[in-house]
Amino acid sequence: MNDFLYSYGGHIGYGVRPTERCNGYATAILQMALEYSKDTGLKRVMLACNKDNAASRKTILKCGGIKEKEFIYTDGKSIEIYWINL
């Protein structure tokens, strides 16, 4: 992971088509990505989400996310950083 991703992005990104939301797909996608990350030898992964993205926060927390920090990005949006131990 490069310096930018370590500070602002993370190891994993995911998205679900709006018409398919609220079906558990984000949790399934994240769980598969976590399993893959573990298989590659990572011990923990970092994820970021906008503070106003309650659905993503819920998914991250459901998968074991622990909030590390919150900051204001250059575009003025509040970003939350989470770590998940594998």
Could you give the CA distance from residue 61 to residue 46 in angstroms, rounded to a whole number? 12
Token pair in block for residue 85: 């131990």
Task: Give the pTM.
Answer: 0.90
Residues 6-58 have pLDDT tens digits of 777 889 999 999 999 999 999 999 999 999 999 999 999 999 999 999 999 99
Could you give the CA distance from residue 42 to residue 38 in angstroms, rounded to a whole number? 5
3-state helix, strand, coil in the chain (%, to 5): 40, 25, 35
* Eight-class DSSP state of 61: H
Q: Which CATH superfamily is domain 3-85 in?
A: Gcn5-related N-acetyltransferase (GNAT) (3.40.630.30)
Nearest to 33 by CA among 3, 75, 65, 72: 65
